[in-house]
Structure 1
Amino acid sequence: MSRELQRYSIKNQMAAIAAYAETNDLTIVRTYADEGRSGLRIKGRPGLIELIEDVQSGQADFDHILVYDVSRWGRFQDVDESAYYEFLCKRSGVQVEYCAELFKNDGSFVSGIAKNLKRGMAAEWSRELSVKVHAGHCRVASLGYRVGAPVGYGLRRLMVDESEHPKAFLAKGQFKALQSDRVRLQHGSAEEAAVIRSIFDQFVNGRRSYSDIRRHLNDAGIANHNGRPWTDGMIPTILANENYIGKTVYNRTSRRLGQKLVKNPDHTWVRGAAQIEPIVDPGIFARAQKLLAERRVEIPENEMLLRLRLTLRRRGKLNSRIINMTLGLNHVSAYVKHFGSLRKAYALIGYESPRDCDWIDTREFWAAEQARHATELAGCCETTLVFGRSSLRTGSASMSKAGG
């Protein structure tokens, strides 16, 4: 079925189906509906899935299925899909009737041609609408308005009318009421802006890893925009967000006609001026993008070691701080990930740290010892407590609608 605001409203469809049933001396015993669902895929349509399962199981207590029109099966881009679902019903001995079509679904040559034509028209309608809506979104985004996903940390959505007069801030999950309204980005609190600048400073000037920054934020008791603790994946999202330098970006990703989410190339992104003051200095932001790009490039291990050897030759020594602060070198965490530890990377270039690192070799041993002692202690202290038993009997019920 369709959304309430669309041409085929749910009540109109149900009224037409009821009138058809009365005219043809049929009794409606059950209704399968997918209210407000997209018809591009069967996934997410419990009503249609339940109908097919009931029909195929042989337990259906009806011998006719009344459908408003051919497009109500779905606007599948493969037109054979809707034909397949109709075939499953007919194969199980259930007749499909279309209430608003001019032809009779009697299996004739004419009805077959008409149904295939209608299925193709339904698919094309969705495709054309998708193109028009996407073009409209791109146009709105190019003017600096917010289009699409929720805003990130430290930002708010302000709904304005067609004359740019502010109307209200939109909370999470809220949408603008009128088609002529638009959404502008606005700054959050001063405290949130300070946190954003701190993230950029730690990454650009402090050369700290995502994990270090995340740990710093959580230890300070700072929640993310959802009120939850930060994760490593949120840090690069903050660092790459052009909203913080006063720009809007649209069409980074897309999901056309119910297909998988894809990342779009940079030249297809739509940028606009958000009409807000930058939270982060554009120069700092540009440096952050350069560092992010370096981290995304997969450098061969021999190249990583060569750069480390050249840094040793210039600086005379190596440590975590020198590695993190040297442009062109991967972060310490990358060396640990590739070589197992920083000391092993040192050994491969013939460098021995002046610090005593022998304790590192015993960490796994002592961790295993601690786990073993904890298990033994738990076994010694285990106490069996017997309480009275209670049982909770849960019954299941099925509900069906029937008419006589």
Structure 2
Amino acid sequence: MVNALVVRRNTQLAKAQKALRAAQYVRMSTDLQRYSTQNQAAAIAAYAQQRNLTIVRTYVDEGRSGVRINRRPALAELIKDVQSGNTDFEHILVYDVSRWGRFQDVDESAHYEFVCRRSGVKVAYCAEQFENDGSLLSSILKNIKRVMAAEFSRELGVKVHAGHCRIAGLGYRVGGSLTFGLGREMIDEEQRSKGRLRKGEYKALKTDRVRLRLGSDEEIAVVRWIFQQFVIKRKTDVEIARQLNRGNIANHHGRPWTYIMVHSILRNENYIGNLVYNRTSRRLGQTQVNNPDHLWIRSPGVVSPAIDHDLFERAQKIMAERYISIPEDQMLRRLRLTLGRKGKLTTRIIKNAPGLPSVACYIKHFGSLRQAYALIGYQGSRNCEWFDVRDHWSEVLSNLAGQVAEALRTDLGIRLNLTDDGAGLARHGSSKIISFQVVRRMAQRTPNHVALWRAHLRKERTKLCVFLRLKESNKVVQDYVLLPAADTAKPYLTLSDGALARYKAVRVDTVNELIRNIKARFTSSSHAAPAKPTRPNKRRKSSGPKTMNVRGRH
């Protein structure tokens, strides 16, 4: 792979120097081995050598589908660097059009290329038979290639789905996560067992198949107990989950039980020996949809039943009777009647009101409780302005995290990636290292009362916490507080000016000061070395007695 001395991203180079510098983008999915990143890089290197280009940057997406850009961090980073205008290259080298992406909307693929071209960066496809020079022929061929790449993903998805349905119809396990009390067994083409598969393990050979098997006797006993509590004692999903947690009964994830886990067990036909596939589907990264019953693939008798069939049917009948579907206008009418009886509406009132749908049901149908309130002409007493500006502060946190990550990468060579929520930085494959959070200023009881900010401590603790304290109006950032990992059992932390010293926190006024403090902490931690233990000063023991004065010696 051709490479050169890497220049810092913010370095300003002359236009003549940038004209001969290029960045390469390689992506590997599970299509074919010829699309491996090494083969792509070799072809790109040969292309660059023929045109006297020097590859100075490499963006790699390994094991990533080209259908969407959401889960392709390297391509997203490349587009972001190009849009910033601080790139030190004028060419982007890609193996072919399909490696750039198999976007189902060909205009999306063209859009990302247009963004690069608008910023003065050219995109070249090294293995294609045309030059991406904007001519009529190249434009036609390139658009055809994009359509072919998108169509390839669509056809492949249809073929894979048909194959999965055929395998499921034969009684074999296909994809999906298992519920409590179930396991997987791998068998070869002659139906001989090759052992149980643990969590995270998959079959290696295409001729192997996976069968569903029951778990341990202890797990099956817990499953039977859940059905008995639900059917015979008429307990709810929430009550069953709470009782399991009180008994310290671990589930298959090693986490506390939830009502959703209990509900999935009660609806699972695997416990009566049936294997059901294609209940839901998600095509090419689109929204998951529930398929009608006639499209389900059901294979009866593939595993020994753990639950009596009659007990299972009684559980399904109870759940069907509890779920009543009513139209939206009737939902609003019942909500209006509840408001007339109670005089106000809260989540607790909605939950306890008989004949009223749940809060989650109103949110699903109308988007939020506030929108449902607005449709019946009710305005709650709670100030919900903070919910309206959540997207704004999320963008502020994401931009701040990006500035910190760029400064650490540029000045210290420390590479941290933005987390999925956009409010933290972490190394690849590790937990969050730096977290960012906006904290509102609490209302003062009296004018002379001390200003207080209340920060919520998440369960996942980080090494450094950055809090953006807002002013009294909670619309503008007042200052920044840098706090090491807080060792406290409380879920909240009060950040007043007097408490900062107790928490060993640092308060700064600007983003530049914040970045300097963060870099100083990373520098000190990298240079700090464990102190060598001092050896004790061992003296030789004298044969005579220990004395303190002359009189003692005599």
What range describes the TM-score normalised by the shorter chain of this pair? 0.7 to 0.9
Instruction: For residue 40 of structure 1, report the CA deviation from its aligned partner.
Output: 0.6
1:337 equivalent in structure 2: 352
1:367 equivalent in structure 2: none
User: Conserved in 2, the CA contact under 8 Å of 1:253 and 1:264?
Assistant: yes
Q: Is 1:204–2:231 an aligned residue pair?
A: yes
Instruction: For residue 76 of structure 1, report the CA deviation from its aligned partner.
Output: 0.6
Q: How does 1:321-360 map to 2 (within 5 A)?
A: 337-339=352-354
Instruction: For residue 132 of structure 1, report the CA deviation from its aligned partner.
Output: 0.2
2:95 equivalent in structure 1: 68
Amino acid at match of 1:17: I
Amino acid at match of 2:309: P
The one-character-per-residue Cα deviations of 1:379-402 (angstroms, maximum 9, x if unpaired) are xxxx999769587943189xxxxx
Matched position secondary structure for 2:88: coil
Alignment partner for residue 264 of structure 1, among 258, 280, 291? 291
Q: Is 1:191–2:227 an aligned residue pair?
A: no
User: Conserved in 2, the CA contact under 8 Å of 1:40 and 1:75?
Assistant: yes
1:107 equivalent in structure 2: 134
2:37 equivalent in structure 1: 10
The structure whose residues are more often strand, as a share, is: 2
User: Conserved in 2, the CA contact under 8 Å of 1:162 and 1:182?
Assistant: yes
The one-character-per-residue Cα deviations of 1:5-47 (angstroms, maximum 9, x if unpaired) are 6241111111100111111111000011111101111101111
Q: CA 1:384/1:70 → structure 2, altered by over 3 Å: closer, same or farther?
A: closer
User: Conserved in 2, the CA contact under 8 Å of 1:245 and 1:280?
Assistant: yes
Instruction: For residue 339 of structure 1, report the CA deviation from its aligned partner.
Output: 3.6
Q: Is 1:285–2:312 an aligned residue pair?
A: yes
Matched position secondary structure for 2:59: coil
2:469 equivalent in structure 1: none
User: Conserved in 2, the CA contact under 8 Å of 1:243 and 1:274?
Assistant: no
Instruction: For residue 265 of structure 1, report the CA deviation from its aligned partner.
Output: 1.6
Distance 2:268 2:292 in 1: 16
User: Conserved in 1, the CA contact under 8 Å of 2:269 and 2:275?
Assistant: yes
Q: How does 1:117-128 map to 2 (within 5 A)?
A: 117-128=144-155
User: Conserved in 2, the CA contact under 8 Å of 1:157 and 1:183?
Assistant: yes
Distance 1:28 1:209 in 2: 62
Instruction: For residue 164 of structure 1, report the CA deviation from its aligned partner.
Output: 1.2
Instruction: For residue 151 of structure 1, report the CA deviation from its aligned partner.
Output: 1.1
Alignment partner for residue 122 of structure 2, among 95, 107, 112? 95
User: Conserved in 1, the CA contact under 8 Å of 2:278 and 2:295?
Assistant: yes
Matched position secondary structure for 1:96: strand
Q: CA 1:98/1:131 → structure 2, altered by over 3 Å: closer, same or farther?
A: same
Distance 1:137 1:340 in 2: 42
1:216 equivalent in structure 2: 243
Amino acid at match of 1:49: A
Instruction: For residue 71 of structure 1, report the CA deviation from its aligned partner.
Output: 1.3
Distance 2:30 2:66 in 1: 15
User: Conserved in 1, the CA contact under 8 Å of 2:275 and 2:302?
Assistant: no
Q: CA 1:227/1:267 → structure 2, altered by over 3 Å: closer, same or farther?
A: same
User: Conserved in 2, the CA contact under 8 Å of 1:204 and 1:288?
Assistant: yes
Instruction: For residue 337 of structure 1, report the CA deviation from its aligned partner.
Output: 2.7
CA-based RMSD? 2.7
TM-score by length of 1: 0.75
1:311 equivalent in structure 2: none
Identity %: 59
User: Conserved in 1, the CA contact under 8 Å of 2:29 and 2:65?
Assistant: no
Alignment partner for residue 258 of structure 2, among 231, 237, 252? 231
Instruction: For residue 89 of structure 1, report the CA deviation from its aligned partner.
Output: 0.9
Distance 2:31 2:224 in 1: 43
Higher relative CO (CA 8 A, sep ≥ 6), structure 1 or 2?
Answer: 1
Distance 1:31 1:187 in 2: 48
User: Conserved in 1, the CA contact under 8 Å of 2:168 and 2:299?
Assistant: yes
Q: Is 1:142–2:169 an aligned residue pair?
A: yes
Amino acid at match of 2:222: V
Q: CA 1:101/1:274 → structure 2, altered by over 3 Å: closer, same or farther?
A: farther
Amino acid at match of 1:338: A
Q: CA 1:94/1:274 → structure 2, altered by over 3 Å: closer, same or farther?
A: farther
1:365 equivalent in structure 2: none
Instruction: For residue 170 of structure 1, report the CA deviation from its aligned partner.
Output: 1.3
The one-character-per-residue Cα deviations of 1:164-218 (angstroms, maximum 9, x if unpaired) are 1111211112111111111111111111111111111111111111122112211
Q: CA 1:172/1:202 → structure 2, altered by over 3 Å: closer, same or farther?
A: same
Q: Is 1:395–2:519 an aligned residue pair?
A: yes
Matched position secondary structure for 1:97: strand
TM-score by length of 2: 0.56
The one-character-per-residue Cα deviations of 1:331-364 (angstroms, maximum 9, x if unpaired) are xx999632499xxxxxxxxxxxxxxxxxxxxxxx
User: Conserved in 2, the CA contact under 8 Å of 1:3 and 1:10?
Assistant: no
Distance 2:313 2:350 in 1: 25
User: Conserved in 2, the CA contact under 8 Å of 1:254 and 1:264?
Assistant: yes
Q: CA 1:86/1:389 → structure 2, altered by over 3 Å: closer, same or farther?
A: closer
Runs of 4+ residues over 4 Å off in structure 1: 333-336, 383-393
Instruction: For residue 159 of structure 1, report the CA deviation from its aligned partner.
Output: 0.9
Q: CA 1:162/1:274 → structure 2, altered by over 3 Å: closer, same or farther?
A: farther
The structure whose residues are more often helix, as a share, is: 1
Distance 2:499 2:57 in 1: 53
Amino acid at match of 1:267: H
